[in-house]
Amino acid sequence: MKDTRHAGVTSQFKIRIGEKTHVGADGTRLTAIRELSLDLAPESMTVLMGPSGCGKTTLLRIVAGLDDEFTGEIDMPAHARLGFMFQEPRLLPWRTVQQNIELVAAPGFSGKDLETLAEAVGIAEMMSRYPQELSLGLARRAALARAFSTEPDLLLLDEPFVSLDERTADRLRRLLLKVWSARPTTAVMVTHNPREALQLADNLVVMAPRPTHVLAVESIDVPQKDRDPAMIEALLTDLSKRFPANFSEM
Ligand SMILES: Nc1ncnc2c1ncn2[C@@H]1O[C@H](COP(=O)(O)OP(=O)(O)OP(=O)(O)O)[C@@H](O)[C@H]1O
């Protein structure tokens, strides 16, 4: 499944940020990122782990093209399609789940593709419902389906499973791996949950406090489906010794 990934292959996504400074309404300047360089391995899951407020969302917003007030460059193929999944599902309330997905789906995404995806993420029965009729867990499933329906070249996930109960979060992580393995795409995810990071990441990016940059990139070579709790705990013990600010219990 994952043998389509080639860690040695040149990245199509290169992030080079000299500096990103936020300017508050009162003129206060706050530098969130300084000298950050990161290449995303093709069809890999890159997970960003950094102290609270270090600049992770700022980084995702820049990569997404939502913020262009920075020095540096984001190198990606022209016409690369981006998919997003944020903490808030951000579904349009006046459209059904199906309409929300169809609105952003890739041109070649057929009705059959939609059916298959809805089935895979467990929302087949919910397609004619409106977002406010869904629990947060179901709304996140819909958001996951919407993100994949765009058939993205780059998928950006900003704490997609935060504030869900652990069982629901775990189910959603499995769903993410399932749909992602069926159609591997280059992905970047932000999380505060070290176990989640170790369960999902091919490459784990250890980020410095603000102004943030990359402290280390740890590759986890064992396929996600073969990682058991004992292995995750062993990795976590090792990382929390080396990077206590990023991997201590949160
Ligand atoms: N639009 C903005 N204007 C001013 N300051 C901002 C703006 N957006 C973010 N910041 C500040 O920049 C810093 C980095 O914010 P960011 O949201 O990127 O951090 P984060 O690592 O994603 O945080 P968290 O871990 O809490 O989710 C924070 O101090 C934040 O308050």
Query: Could you report the per-residue pLDDT of 18-63, keeping only the tens digit for each?
Result: 999 999 999 999 999 999 999 999 999 999 999 999 999 999 999 9
Is 10's pLDDT higher than 70?
no
Please write the tens of the pLDDT for every residue from 51-96.
Answer: 999 999 999 999 999 999 999 999 999 889 999 888 787 899 999 9
Q: What is the pTM of this model?
A: 0.90
Most ligand 1 atoms within 8 A of CB, residue of 22, 62, 213 to mutate: 22
Ligand 1 nearest atom to the CA of residue 55, by list position: 18
99 torsion bin: left (phi>0), alpha (psi -120 to 50), beta (else): alpha
Tens of pLDDT, residue by residue over 155-187, are 999 998 888 888 888 888 988 888 888 888 999
169 Cβ neighbours under 8 A, 6+ residues apart: 161, 196
Query: Was domain 13-243 assigned CATH 3.40.50.300?
Result: yes
Residue nearest to atom 10 of ligand 1 (CA): 22
Is 61 close to ligand 1, i.e. is its CB under 6 Å away?
Answer: no
Instruction: Give me the residue label for tokens 């920075």.
Output: 70
Characterise 129 by phi-psi region: left (phi > 0), alpha (psi -120 to 50), beta (else): beta
User: What is the best residue among 30, 87, 188, 250 to mutate for testing ligand 1's pocket, by most ligand atoms within 8 Å of CB?
Assistant: 30
Average pLDDT along the chain: 90
| Domain locations in the chain as residue ranges | 13-243
